[in-house]
Amino acid sequence: MLPRGRSSDWANDGGIFRPVQLLVTPKTFVERIDVDSLPDPASGDGKLTITAYVRNTGATWWSGKTSFSIAEEENSLIVLTSSQTDSSSKALSVKPGAIEKLTLHTILPKARLWHFDHPHLCRLDFSISAEGNAHAFPTLFGVRKLEILDGAFHINGEPVRLMGVERTAGSNPELVRQNRRSGSHVTTRT
């Protein structure tokens, strides 16, 4: 079905169909950040595991320091920096042509939890620096725990009833067989 109005029911079979950015980085840069964030119901804090992947595309060893800051996305209020933790300015070395993985564990005090009704997000800015050169990598995350308890889906300990289904020709085996026999392509929604 062709897109119309606010519809986005369109299968792109190739090409770029979302925003693209070209990032210019130094030879050693933060390639990726993973954040695992779990709430601690007893303390109200968030337990964070920050994993950074730093790539050195240069021909020589890179040695420098790492740091991070975490801010509330909605108001840019800084809620934690690496200087407030035992993770302050970790030294890091990366050999030429390699990727170094660095994992930090820290606590986000009195973390505001992500919820369907209040999708609170935090922005992590992770930086590396050496001899006046620096590179920073931002990422967004929410503090939440997803789990199945007694056959029900829970977010942060609260049972959630998920409603609605979208079924397309590729996901419904009966419809796929029907379409193959008739030679048509149909998308259905229930």
Q: Which residues pair with 109 in a beta bridge?
A: none
Say yes or no: 143 and 83 in one domain: yes
Residue 184 lies in a domain: yes
Residue 56 lies in a domain: yes
End-to-end CA distance of the chain: 16
Q: Residue 151, class by beta-carbon neighbours within 10 Å (0-12 exposed, 13-18 middle, 19+ buried)?
A: exposed
Tell which residue, 180, 165, 147, has the closest CA to residue 39: 147
The token pair that represents 24 in the structure block = 């210019």
What is the count of structural domains for the chain? 2
Q: What is the mean pLDDT of residues 161-169?
A: 67
Say yes or no: 44 and 135 in one domain: yes
Say yes or no: 126 and 186 in one domain: no
Report whether pLDDT(186) > 70. Answer: no
Say yes or no: 180 and 142 in one domain: no
State the pLDDT at residue 125. Answer: 96
pLDDT tens for 47-97 read 999 999 999 999 999 999 999 999 999 999 999 998 866 655 688 999 999
State the pLDDT at residue 189. Answer: 40
Say yes or no: 178 and 112 in one domain: no
Residue 22 lies in a domain: no
State the pLDDT at residue 133. Answer: 85
Say yes or no: 41 and 60 in one domain: yes
Residue 20 lies in a domain: no
Residue 23 lies in a domain: no
- Residue 141 main-chain phi, psi, to 5 deg: -150, 160
Say yes or no: 185 and 100 in one domain: no
State the pLDDT at residue 82. Answer: 87
Q: What is the rounded CA–CA span in Å between residue 190 and residue 183? A: 22
CATH for 75: 2.60.40.10
Helix (H, G, I), strand (E, B) or coil at 33: strand
Give the confidence band of 116 by pLDDT, cuts at 50, 70, 90.
confident
- Asked if 29 and 128 touch (Cβ cutoff 8 Å), the reply is yes
Tell which residue, 58, 55, 80, has the closest CA to residue 70: 80
pLDDT tens for 11-57 read 656 677 778 888 889 999 999 999 999 999 899 999 999 999 999 99
